[in-house]
Amino acid sequence: MAQGDYGTLVPPWRVGPTREIAKTRMFTLNEHRCESPATGRAGDFVFLDTADWCNVAALTPDGHVVMIEQFRHGLGEVTLELPGGIVDPGETPAAACERELLEETGYAGARVEMIGVVSANPAMQNNRVHTGLVRNAVLKGSQHLDGSEEIAVRLVKLTEVPALVARGVIHHSLVVAAFYHLALRGWAHHVS
């Protein structure tokens, strides 16, 4: 839901000039001066400027979801999550979902249906995460991983996902949000 679609009570702050602090291949760390229109108070705020991301819930004809395991350096752990990645410049989120699914897992299926969008971390990031749904996913080929990726593919029964979230096995917040979007559409509708 875009800001204002339901009548926000807090007006947006006035945003002044932005200053680049650091730039990496994944994001730019920026700072800008903002002022509250309600109080006139001003402050400097840092945020990460980064591309939008996507993740994709790919469902097989026999009721499994295609998931991946990979080591996440920020957490220092292997996580169980959905395939996904950066939406490249000029690429639609649906095209990114299709590309990432094939690259990371070798799976492909019916056309991508976009089922949800969330803010990655609105306190300090300006990007969004787009979730796609692919039905009838089947193995089409081998993985085509980026140089630093080490990914194992795991098929998980869709009906087991709520318990895996409850037990903390699936704990990546953006993946949990993706499954929530799928649940809003009705779990039973997606299970063969």
- Residues 11-43 have pLDDT tens digits of 999 999 999 999 999 999 999 999 999 999 999
Spatial distance between the Cα atoms of 66 and 59, rounded to a whole number of angstroms: 6
Alpha helices (H) in the chain, listed in sequence order: 93-105, 161-166, 173-184, 187-190
Are 100 and 137 in a shared domain?
Answer: yes
Q: What is the pLDDT, as a whole number, of residue 6?
A: 78
* Residues 29, 101 within the same domain: no
Give me the pLDDT at residue 115, please: 97
This model's pTM is above 0.85:
yes
**In this structure, are 96 and 179 located in the same domain?**
yes
Percent of the chain, pLDDT > 90?
Answer: 88
Q: Are residues 81 and 96 in the same domain?
A: yes
Greatest CA separation found in the chain? 58
How confident is the model at residue 48, as a pLDDT?
97
Q: Is the pLDDT of residue 78 over 50?
A: yes
Residue 7 lies in a domain: no
- State whether residue 35 is helix, strand or coil: strand
| Mean pLDDT (the chain, rounded) | 94
pLDDT at 2: 55
The range of the structural domain enclosing residue 38 comes to 14-49
Q: Are residues 45 and 110 in the same domain?
A: no
> How many domains would you assign to the chain?
2
Placement of tokens 């819930």 in the chain: 57
Over range 144-150, report the average pLDDT: 91
CATH number of domain containing 113 = 3.90.79.10
Claim to verify: residue 85 and residue 156 sit in the same structural domain? yes
Query: Quick check: 176 pLDDT over 80?
Result: yes
If asked whether residues 98 and 180 sit together in one domain, one would say yes
For residues 55-61, average pLDDT: 97
- Residue 23 and residue 83 in one domain: no
Residue 192 in any domain: the answer is no
| Mean pLDDT, range 81-86, rounded to an integer | 98
Residues pairing with 54 in the sheet: 85, 130
Q: Is 56 within 8 Å of 101 (Cβ atoms)?
A: yes
Band of pLDDT at residue 1, cut at 50, 70 and 90: very low
Q: What is the DSSP letter of 98?
A: H
Pick the closest to residue 82 from 66, 95, 97 (CA basis): 66
Say how many CA atoms lie within 13 Å of 72 toward its Cβ: 11
Question: Are 79 and 43 part of one and the same domain?
Answer: no
Q: Are residues 39 and 133 in the same domain?
A: no
